[in-house]
Amino acid sequence: MANAFEVTSAPAPPLRAWFKPHRIVLIAIAVGLVVLAATTMRWDWIVRYWPLALQGLWRTIWLLVLTCTLGFMLAVPLGLAQAAGPRWLAMPASAFCTVIRGTPLLLQLWLLYFGLGSLFPQFPWIRESELWPYLRQAWPYAVLGLTLSFAGYEGEVMRGAFAGVPRGQLEAARAFGMSRTKVFRRIWLPQAIQRALPTLAGETVLQLKATPLVATITVVDIYAVAGRVRQDTFIVYEPLLLLALIYLMITGVIVFAFRRLESRIPSRLG
């Protein structure tokens, strides 16, 4: 069951399509709404929270990139184990994916942060270890939680991708005398990634939409900054609207980047 909803499926409309009469009217209405919002709503708080918001935005992007990268690196062995591994590897891998996909991310984050966070201090050897100063902060738990979640969803995608590479390709590579690792590196993995690429864009957008959850475990991302504005100034809608706009723009960038990436990779599948 694919979790990703194709975000990239529709091709970009040609520029001329934007200038149909009804679209011009709609765009005019939208611009009017934006102007109305800009003039009648309160935006004076932006100046004061600008540096904090920038910091939060940076943290959101940094979390997104780091957890997607780490999660994908974890997803490759997870998918491989399920697609071609022996039973004793495939079973735990598929159990991991089921558990991650079957429970809410919010609960996973709270389990890691509050659960592990309350267990760790009881072990003297953890308290004395070098890692302790990091384990007392919130962001390692956020990174771990988001990484595991991405790995769980993407591992399932990679399982299908690995299984979908035609057998003949692998047999031909073996017949050429390539070693198993070389077959994996040169043939199997590149083709699997190519197959997984369309869903990868969707998964990345889903991961972006998951990042605000880290605000509930005290990581100050862009969402947490909006919450802070709401708490400090009792302005409710303006920060949330701006926040929605920012997420829309980040999604746009992700979709655009993956479209570029996909068009660069030749799409002929053997």
Residues that bind other proteins (CB under 8 A): 1-3, 5, 7, 20, 22-23, 26, 98-99, 101-108, 110-111, 113-125, 136-138, 160, 163-164, 205, 208-213, 216, 218, 223, 226, 236-237, 240-241, 243-244, 247-248, 251-252
Q: Which is nearer to other proteins, 115 or 168 (CB)?
A: 115
Q: Which is nearer to other proteins, 46 or 236 (CB)?
A: 236
Q: For 66-125, give the DSSP string.
A: HHHHHHHHHHHHHHHHHHHS-HHHHHHHHHHHHHHHHS-HHHHHHIIIIIIHHHGGG-HH
Q: Are 43 and 241 in contact (CB under 8 A)?
A: no
> How far is 205 from 208, CA to CA, in rounded Å?
5
Q: Minimum distance from CB of 27 to other proteins (Å)?
A: 10
Minimum CB distance to other proteins smaller for 81 or for 208: 208
Q: How far is the CB of 176 from other proteins (least distance, A)?
A: 25
Smallest gap from residue 26 Cβ to other proteins (A):
6
Q: Decide whether 20 or 180 has the Cβ nearer to other proteins.
A: 20
Compute the distance between CA of residue 65 and CA of residue 124 in angstroms, rounded to an integer: 34
Euclidean distance between CA atoms 10 and 92, whole angstroms: 37
- In the complex, minimum distance from the CB of residue 39 to other proteins, in angstroms, rounded to a whole number: 19
Output the six-digit token pair for 26.
Answer: 């709609």
Closest distance between other proteins and the C-beta of residue 115, in Å? 4
Nearer CB in complex with other proteins: 10/47 = 10
| φ/ψ (deg, to 5) at 86 | -70, 160
Least Å distance, CB 194 to other proteins, is 16
Residue 191: what residue type? Answer: Q
Residue number, 22 or 87, with CB nearest to other proteins: 22
Q: Please list the alpha-helical segments (H only) found in the chain.
A: 21-40, 45-84, 87-102, 105-110, 117-119, 124-127, 132-135, 139-164, 167-175, 180-183, 189-210, 222-233, 237-264
